[in-house]
Homo-oligomer: A and B are copies of this chain.
Amino acid sequence: MAINSTGLRPDREADDNLHSSLPTPASDVVEALASASLRCVECATLYPALEVGQPPRYRCDCGGVLDVEMDFHLPQQGNPVKPNPAALRYGLGPEVDGGTPTAGSPWRQVFDERAANPPIWSISSDKMLLDNSGVWRYRELILPAPERFVVTRPEGNTGLYPVGIENTASGRAGHRQIGAYAGLERFFLKHEGENPTGSFKDRGMTVGVTMANMLGAKAVACASTGNTSASLASYAAQAGLEGIVFLPAGNVSAGKLAQSLAYGARTVQIDGDFDDAMRLVEQVCNELGIYLLNSLNPFRVEGQKAIGFEILQQLDWQAPDWLVLPAGNLGNTSAIGKAFRQAYNLSLISHMPRIASIQAAGANPFYKSFKQGFAQRESVQADTVATAIRIGNPVSYTRARRVIEESDGIVEQVTDEEILAAKAVIDRAGIGCEPASATTLAGVRKLVAQGIIKRDEQVVGILTGNLLKDSKTGIPQTVAGGSVKATIEAVRSVLL
């Protein structure tokens, strides 16, 4: 069935009798997915996570995006812990002891004990330690995958850098410049560029490729030239699956694909626009046992929730006041907001952080909707130097809107100049990031200047990608100054 990529009702095509060529799932897979469902974010229809004999479902029949729902089971007990919907309201919540609700202790204890295992490989065993992954450490809240299917590098365990005016140690004077630029006393930067392929995409891809493994797919595919394709190619290669990148022809920058090509991904260039390409891709994937790991795959978002859980754990379960991040396709806004919501409902934390999603002014559909109170879903022709968030019609709009509303959040926009200026600050501090990541700092500075974020509030900002991803944008491209004579006086004169 062909799906219109704007999310409206699909057109029915002649190929309605497509059948899945994925094998029948193993019994432990069926059992693992029995407690998971997929809820349409538009019409609320509920589907099972696994429809045996059917191709994987990527959308509701109405065309809407799907969101995973799961019962959460503490590992030892096996009794489902029901989330408390009444606890959703910001600021209200269960009994608090020492800053964290006592009811959340069993879960916090599980995650803290797992984080305390040193990553040791016994020299004679191939046993893989799920606990050491920054995603699978929280597996009961992400995907109850049987261990034999899990494809993990591991990923996550990324740095949380104190960079605020008051919370930066003496051996980090350069880092404190970031806090000074932001105007914040207690500021942390969470650096997802420290993941194995250099971006946060690894968080989602470990779950997506694990699902592909569980379903017996021979290959996984996406349509992206950037961080997504690099991550997909790496995890597919690790698992021994084929990684395929579908692209509209003429949109194939080998530089952006270098990482994917190195990891061995296969590219298919399609003569048509992006909508044509995506429609065909979904059709042929179902036919050929290829699992689609595009941004609308709901299990990728589940993996990205781990960014939120890990931040909370690294802060010893003291939720910050604000979480600020770049906003493009709105996958992270949806995922991290969902993680905080679930953490709050499970009493892991005593309050929900407010989410601030920052868009590039040249790619600001979510900002435009926010300014009208989300009266209308906007879309734009996107154009920004921050190419990773250069999205005109974000797939996860509805999920992200919910996150902003329930967290009493904000959507803001910043110009390309502001983004590049912020990137220079992050780079010169010695940390470094790819251009789109700096949107976070540009947004924080703006919100602090406006008094929306207070100077003494606790803020965590996400850096989404590694400096090495882009060696050109916003980086000096020539070496300043000519040469000096090979004498002590000449060298001394340029240094003083």
**Which A residues form the contact surface with B (CB < 8 A)?**
15, 112, 115-128, 148-154, 157, 159-160, 162, 166-175, 186, 188, 194, 196-198, 210, 213, 233-240, 244, 249-250, 252, 254-255, 257-259, 261-264, 267-272, 276-277, 280-281, 283-284, 287-288, 290, 313-316, 318, 320, 427-432, 458, 466-469, 471-472, 474-488, 491-492, 494-496
Q: A284-B491, A468-B466 are in contact. Are A169 and B483 (CB under 8 A)?
A: no
Give, as a whole number of angstroms, the nearest-CB distance from A247 to chain B.
8
Q: Complex formed: what's the CA distance from A255 to B236 in Å?
A: 30
Q: A171-B213, A313-B118 are in contact. Are A255 and B471 (CB under 8 A)?
A: yes
Q: Is the CB of A171 within 8 A of B315?
A: no
Q: Is the CB of B121 within 8 A of A239?
A: no
Q: Is the CB of B488 within 8 A of A283?
A: yes
- Closest chain B residue, CB of each to CB of A287: B492
5 A-B interface contacts by CB (under 8 A): A126-B162, A128-B169, A128-B172, A148-B171, A173-B240
Within the complex, which residue of B188, B258, B467 is in contact with A475, where a contact is CB–CB below 8 Å? B258
Q: Is the CB of B120 within 8 A of A313?
A: yes
Q: Is the CB of A484 within 8 A of B268?
A: yes
Listed residue (A15, A115, A170, A316) with the most chain B CB atoms within 10 angstroms of its CB: A170
- Closest chain B residue, CB of each to CB of A118: B115
Q: Is the CB of A234 within 8 A of B432?
A: yes
Q: Report chain B residues within 8 Å CB of A272.
A: 486
Q: Is the CB of A430 within 8 A of B236?
A: yes
Q: Is the CB of A123 within 8 A of B186?
A: yes
- Closest chain B residue, CB of each to CB of A122: B316
Q: Is the CB of A491 within 8 A of B270?
A: yes
Q: Is the CB of A483 within 8 A of B284?
A: no
Q: Report chain B residues within 8 Å CB of A125.
A: 167
Q: Is the CB of B121 within 8 A of A162?
A: yes
Q: Report chain B residues within 8 Å CB of A481.
A: 267-269
Q: Complex formed: what's the CA distance from A123 to B321 in Å?
A: 11
Give, as a whole number of angstroms, the nearest-CB distance from A173 to chain B.
3
Q: A237-B429, A239-B174 are in contact. Are A486 and B288 (CB under 8 A)?
A: no
Give, as a whole number of angstroms, the nearest-CB distance from A290 to chain B.
8
Q: Is the CB of A482 within 8 A of B318?
A: no
Q: Report chain B residues within 8 Å CB of A262.
A: 427-428, 432, 467, 474-476
Within the complex, which residue of B128, B257, B258 is in contact with A171, where a contact is CB–CB below 8 Å? B128
Q: Report chain B residues within 8 Å CB of A466.
A: 468
Q: Is the CB of A430 within 8 A of B123?
A: no
Q: Is the CB of A268 within 8 A of B491?
A: yes
